[in-house]
Amino acid sequence: MAAETLATFPKGGIHPKESKELTEKLPVEVMPPPSQVRLFLKQHAGAPCRVSVKKRVMTTPSEERLFLKRHAGDLYQLLVKKKDKVFEGDLVGSVEKGLGANLHASLSGTLEGVENVQHPMVGKAPALVISADPEAEPRSYSSVDWKKFSREELIARIKDAGIVGLGGAGFPAHAKLTLGPDVKVDTLILNGAECEPYLTSDHRIMVEHPHDIIEGAKIILKILGIDYCAIGIENNKPDAIEALNRAIAQDTSKNGYKIAVKPLKVKYPQGSADQIMQSLTGRVRPAGARSSAIGIIVQNVYTTKAIYDAVAFGKPFYERVVTIAGKGIKRPANLMVKVGTSLADIVDYLGGTTPDLVKVVIGGPMMGFSVSTFDIPITKTTSGVLFLTKDEVDTESYYPCIRCGFCLEACPMGLEPNNIGIYVEAGRGAETEQFGIDDCFECGSCAFVCPAKRPLVQFIRLAKMKIRESKKK
Amino acid sequence: MVETQTETTAITEVEKPARLFVSVSPHVKSAETINKIMWTVVACLMPPLILSVFIFGFQTLIITVISVASCVATEAISQKLLHRPVTVKDGSAVITGVLLAYIIPPGVPYWMPILGAVMAIFVTKVLMGGIGFNIFNPALIGRAFLVATYPVAMTSAWLLPIRDASIFKYMGTGVDAITTATPLYVLKHYGIGAVIEKFGSLASIYGNFFIGWRPGCIGETSAFLLIIGGLFLIYKKYITWHIPVSVIVSVGFFTWVFGGEKLFTGNPLLAVLSGGVILGAFFMATDYVTSPNQKAGQLFFGAGIGALTVLIRLKGGYPEGVCYAILLMNTLTPAIDQWFKPRRFAPQPQEGAQK
């Protein structure tokens, strides 16, 4: 390889153990459909879906309407009769107004109703329960030539498919691509950094479906009306870089689009939007602004493939690759699972857990959420589930701050996690805005390097809460 | 313990763990711990101790052991009495003990480090709230206390380096040992000519002082071994070059400017190699708790230590000023941290412009 200097961001960052060797070479394996799925009505940023099904199964009598409590306390209606039949790919929840994403049945079967189900992040949340019809055939999709679609039609197809940002934030994809008239964008960045340790789902998608990603990039470029796309990939995935480079070379219908793979230095949090934009373009997003303000749209590589599937096949987003890794699971894998599949079913399928399992994390080890039960469904944004053993996680107690300043060096945003922690411990969390807490996206670099093992992200979340409380008064 | 342990309610039939830990992210952490850092510092401080036995005799080891033992005991007893968790295993009290021994003369009576240890650990550290909360470097307060209380012993119990390899030579002789004067004392009171007369030509002075063959405190004499230890800490990324380099450069610079008979005629090399500059620069000024966090602040802090050291050496009542220079700059550390803030990633919206 040429002695090209790898693009990276200058300020802060850390080098956690990558731990990707468990699954990075494992091809995606399709898990057989489970007997039941539970689909959260809110799988994305924005408002929850309004439950709806096609006319043929909708019933009108008012006594059959189910009322659900929304998190804000108001009520909304469930317009579906219990025990209705649904088919894989059917629309079961729709965007009513504002920001949101459609929801589709991930199984053919019977709609059992709505239950409050344990969510990895927000406690209990309403979810549609569908039990599988074992006889049902998997649905197939036939391709159409996407080039005939106009920009509006492309966006509509993406919106119909219920695609959200698969990198973790879950921002509805169609909303990100719908720009205001005065917004000027010149660069599309496809984020294939996958800087979180353990996770390999984006990696496998890049290795196994490079052509889909390139086509998806062209769809997004057409929507945005621009011609430049940079694909940022951390340099620890040489096979993904090679696959995408080959796909670009083989592509015969470039239409003047300039798509280039840019290897990135392996440094966490390289995949954070702010950091990857700075690494690839040198541009810095002002605090509080959106990335389009500096002329850039960032999409995750997996989201890009989902966009291609939606546009070229009309396939809604209801199944995804999830990395199941860690020393606590008998058989690590990159699994293609239906959205709504329970962790318990996945554990069953992979042969169970090991006796020394101490922690289960939904997402990556740096920013993921630990859970206390296997009774949790996979969502659209679940990129991995980690089963971690005692020697993989830190369960130590913490010390007072010794003011070593390691966190100041590690913070990619130039904040002062040490002082935020000290203030929170002193009961003055509401006074921490001076340390830049608004910019914190909780990447966890500070808590990772802290030799006193202080739970700095926890302190920061507490401080953010205190600030919100004090502003309400 | 931050983690709350929650019973799992998994419905799965497969074997499941009795309980899962739940905590806020991140779920993986670096291998560096306070204990590891502190014990590495202790290890880096060991070579000068071994050398000191060969230079001043066996009692340097005895004094160091007494100092460490009394620091650890003081911390354990005082934490027990105050009903706080006993934290002696973290190694920070051991560092204080070693450093306290290193900055007292080799000829003091054996009970003296015990008093210094109580002052260093109990008053300076434990009463302030324990590790992370002390304002001053504990070992330096211990020394300052001893200098103020026993000025004669602390400023005259110097020993001549042993040239005949009889390392038991000064054993048990205490203050009555064959005392001598430190190079800085000679320099201050009799000038550079007297230093050359007493310690040999400048070239041999540089060589001997670099290796550690000179009168001085137990652990401060060997610039060579201290620099090796300091470089190892820099290599491990436990400290950065900013404080040590700025201290040393600043001592050299101000000595060069003001240290001679006329301006710009001082001897910077002699100033850096004598006294406690190297020990202070690498091992005491870099104490996390009492030094600034930002690199720019650290440079300011180190430069201030150097300037104050030279000021005390040239104009003050003591021949050596590193100890007080660091203590004075310790008091400025919170202010320096206010003056030098990290540079934020994102340009901040103007005040008032935000909604």
**pLDDT class of A170 with cuts at 50, 70, 90:** confident
How far is B234 from chain A, CA to nearest CA, in Å? 13
Residue A370 has its nearest CB partner, among B13, B22, B288, at B22
A122: domain range? 36-132
If asked whether residues A227 and A373 sit together in one domain, one would say no
Residue A365 has its nearest CB partner, among B11, B21, B26, at B26
Q: What is the DSSP string of A109-130?
A: EEEEEEEEEEETTTEEEEEEEE
Which among B21, B32, B316 is positioned nearest to A388, based on CA atoms?
Answer: B21
**Cβ-based neighbours of B31, under 8 Å, separated by 6 or more:** none
Q: Above 80 in pLDDT, residue A130? A: yes
Question: How many residue pairs from chains A and B have C-beta atoms closer than 8 A?
Answer: 196
Q: What is the pLDDT of residue B3?
A: 41
Contacts of A403 in chain B (CB under 8 A): 132, 288-289, 291, 293
Q: In the predicted model, what is the mean pLDDT of residues A113-119?
A: 84
Residues 95-114 of A with CB under 8 A from B: none
> Model confidence over A209-230: pLDDT tens digits?
999 999 999 999 999 999 999 9
Contacts of A463 in chain B (CB under 8 A): none
CB contact under 8 A, A447 and B29: yes
Count Cα neighbours of A380 within 13 Å in the Cβ-side half-sphere: 31
More confident of the two residues A56 and B159: B159
**pLDDT class of B308 with cuts at 50, 70, 90:** very high
Q: What is the pTM of this model?
A: 0.89
CB contact under 8 A, B34 and A452: yes
Q: What is the pLDDT of residue B161?
A: 84
* CATH (domain of A101): 2.40.50
> Model confidence over A404-437: pLDDT tens digits?
999 999 999 999 999 999 999 999 999 999 998 9
Residue A408 has its nearest CB partner, among B129, B293, B349, at B293
Alpha carbons A92 and A128: distance in angstroms, whole number:
9
More confident of the two residues B157 and B102: B102
Alpha carbons B279 and B238: distance in angstroms, whole number:
16
In a domain, A23, yes or no: no
B350 touches chain A (CB under 8 A): no
Residue A286 has its nearest CB partner, among B17, B133, B347, at B347
CB contact under 8 A, B21 and A358: yes
Please give the mean pLDDT across all residues of chain A.
88
In a domain, A10, yes or no: no
If asked whether residues A168 and A306 sit together in one domain, one would say yes
Could you tell me if B215 and B158 are in contact, meaning their C-beta atoms sit under 8 angstroms apart? yes
**pLDDT class of B122 with cuts at 50, 70, 90:** very high
Q: What is the pLDDT of residue A86?
A: 85
Instruction: Retrieve residue A199's tokens.
Output: 């996770």
How far is A69 from chain B, CA to nearest CA, in Å? 24
Any idea how long chain B is? 355
Alpha carbons A399 and A437: distance in angstroms, whole number:
22
Where do we find the tokens 């060096």? A409
Least confident of A71-85, A356-370, B195-209, B315-329: A71-85
Where do we find the tokens 């763990």? B17
* CATH (domain of A383): 3.10.20.600
> Model confidence over A243-285: pLDDT tens digits?
999 999 998 877 789 999 999 999 999 999 999 999 999 999 9
Last residue of a domain, one of A313, A336, A363: A313
**pLDDT class of A65 with cuts at 50, 70, 90:** very low
Q: What is the pLDDT of residue B5?
A: 40
Contacts of A344 in chain B (CB under 8 A): 10-12, 14
* CATH (domain of A304): 3.40.50.11540
If asked whether residues A51 and A174 sit together in one domain, one would say no
In a domain, A138, yes or no: no
Residue B294 has its nearest CB partner, among A14, A288, A408, at A408
A169 touches chain B (CB under 8 A): no
CB contact under 8 A, B14 and A403: no
Q: Above 50 in pLDDT, residue B1? A: no
* Residues linked to residue A323 through DSSP beta bridges, in sequence order: A334, A384
If asked whether residues A210 and A238 sit together in one domain, one would say yes
* Residues linked to residue A369 through DSSP beta bridges, in sequence order: A362
Q: Above 50 in pLDDT, residue A68? A: no
- Burial of residue A249 (number of CB atoms within 10 Å: 0-12, 13-18, 19+): exposed
Q: How much of chain A, in percent, has pLDDT values that exceed 70?
A: 92
In a domain, A396, yes or no: no
> Model confidence over B309-324: pLDDT tens digits?
999 999 988 888 999 9
Contacts of A397 in chain B (CB under 8 A): 1-2
* Residues linked to residue A234 through DSSP beta bridges, in sequence order: A264
Q: How much of chain B, in percent, has pLDDT values that exceed 90?
A: 65
If asked whether residues A123 and A208 sit together in one domain, one would say no
B168 touches chain A (CB under 8 A): no
In a domain, A356, yes or no: yes
Q: Above 90 in pLDDT, residue B278? A: yes
Instruction: Retrieve residue B47's tokens.
Output: 């070579």
Last residue of a domain, one of A72, A103, A132: A132
Contacts of A14 in chain B (CB under 8 A): 30
A168 touches chain B (CB under 8 A): no
CB contact under 8 A, B14 and A353: yes
How far is A452 from chain B, CA to nearest CA, in Å? 6
Instruction: Retrieve residue B202's tokens.
Output: 């400048």
Q: In the predicted model, what is the mean pLDDT of residues A23-31?
A: 96
Residue type, A132: A
Q: What is the pLDDT of residue B190?
A: 84
**pLDDT class of B7 with cuts at 50, 70, 90:** very low
A415 touches chain B (CB under 8 A): yes
B15 touches chain A (CB under 8 A): yes
If asked whether residues A179 and A83 sit together in one domain, one would say no
If asked whether residues A260 and A118 sit together in one domain, one would say no
Q: What is the pLDDT of residue B15?
A: 47
Could you tell me if A192 and A279 are in contact, meaning their C-beta atoms sit under 8 angstroms apart? no
In a domain, A330, yes or no: yes
Count Cα neighbours of A68 within 13 Å in the Cβ-side half-sphere: 23
Residues 210-249 of A with CB under 8 A from B: none
If asked whether residues A95 and A198 sit together in one domain, one would say no
Q: In the predicted model, what is the mean pLDDT of residues A54-68?
A: 36
Q: In the predicted model, what is the mean pLDDT of residues B258-275?
A: 90
Last residue of a domain, one of A73, A103, A132: A132
Residue in chain B closest to A376 (alpha carbons) equals B10
More confident of the two residues A47 and B23: B23
If asked whether residues A222 and A291 sit together in one domain, one would say yes
CB contact under 8 A, B2 and A398: yes
CB contact under 8 A, B26 and A367: yes
A280 touches chain B (CB under 8 A): no
Q: Above 60 in pLDDT, residue B9? A: no
Instruction: Retrieve residue A319's tokens.
Output: 């199944």
Could you tell me if A117 and A125 are in contact, meaning their C-beta atoms sit under 8 angstroms apart? yes
Q: In the predicted model, what is the mean pLDDT of residues B142-156?
A: 92
Residues 322-341 of B with CB under 8 A from A: 341
**pLDDT class of A21 with cuts at 50, 70, 90:** very high
A331 touches chain B (CB under 8 A): no
Least confident of A140-149, A246-255, A331-340: A246-255
How far is B127 from chain A, CA to nearest CA, in Å? 15
Alpha carbons A472 and A467: distance in angstroms, whole number:
9
Where do we find the tokens 């209705």? A84
CB contact under 8 A, A284 and B348: no
Residues 36-65 of B with CB under 8 A from A: 36-37
Q: Above 50 in pLDDT, residue B78? A: yes
Q: What is the pLDDT of residue B167?
A: 67
CB contact under 8 A, B28 and A393: yes
How far is B130 from chain A, CA to nearest CA, in Å? 9
Q: Above 70 in pLDDT, residue A2? A: no
B18 touches chain A (CB under 8 A): no
A103: phi then psi, degrees, rounded to nearest 5: -130, 135
Q: In the predicted model, what is the mean pLDDT of residues A365-382?
A: 93
Please give the mean pLDDT across all residues of chain B.
88
Instruction: Retrieve residue B28's tokens.
Output: 């993986």
Q: Above 50 in pLDDT, residue A197? A: yes
Contacts of A453 in chain B (CB under 8 A): 29, 33
Residue in chain A closest to B92 (alpha carbons) equals A402
Q: What is the pLDDT of residue A3?
A: 45
In a domain, A31, yes or no: no
- For testing the chain A interface, which of B4, B22, B24, B27 should be mutated: the one with the most A CBs within 10 Å? B27
Question: Which strands sit side by side in the sheet containing A357-362, from one edge to the other?
Answer: A29-30, A333-338, A319-325, A384-389, A357-362, A369-371
Contacts of B15 in chain A (CB under 8 A): 352-353, 355
Total tally of structural domains belonging to chain A: 4
How far is B249 from chain A, CA to nearest CA, in Å? 23
If asked whether residues A204 and A246 sit together in one domain, one would say yes
If asked whether residues A210 and A332 sit together in one domain, one would say no
Could you tell me if A94 and A102 are in contact, meaning their C-beta atoms sit under 8 angstroms apart? yes
Q: Above 50 in pLDDT, residue B6? A: no
A398 touches chain B (CB under 8 A): yes
In a domain, A397, yes or no: no
If asked whether residues A162 and A309 sit together in one domain, one would say yes
Q: What is the pLDDT of residue A288?
A: 84
Q: Which residues of A81-112 are buried (b: 16+ CB within 10 A; e: fewer)?
A: beebbbbbbbbbbbbeeeebbbbbbbbbbbbe
